[in-house]
Amino acid sequence: MTEMEPNLIQAAIIKQPIIENAVYEREEAIAITGFSLSTLIRAEKSGELKGRNIGRRRYYLGADLLKWLQGDENGDGRKGREWKKR
């Protein structure tokens, strides 16, 4: 184990609140939501999550992340996200 690994583990455990008017890079969105890159990409492809490109980087608005997590992107009253049991 390197000296950096314990800090990474602690950073992964301590989650920060998602700020509605903040802009998050893809890596930040992964860290703050706790979801994997493939989950974010799947959500974008399905239209559940809106991402934006600026140059070669992918960004997400905090408001879009919150809507995606709540499962009510269009304000249509759908129930929250349905989580699959493993």
The Cα–Cα gap between 78 and 59 comes to 25
- Domain residue ranges in the chain: 15-70
In the structure, what pLDDT confidence band is assigned to residue 84 with cuts at 50, 70 and 90? low
Q: Phi and psi for 53 in degrees, rounded to 5? A: -100, 135
Please write the tens of the pLDDT for every residue from 57-71.
999 999 999 999 998
What mean pLDDT do residues 25-48 have?
94
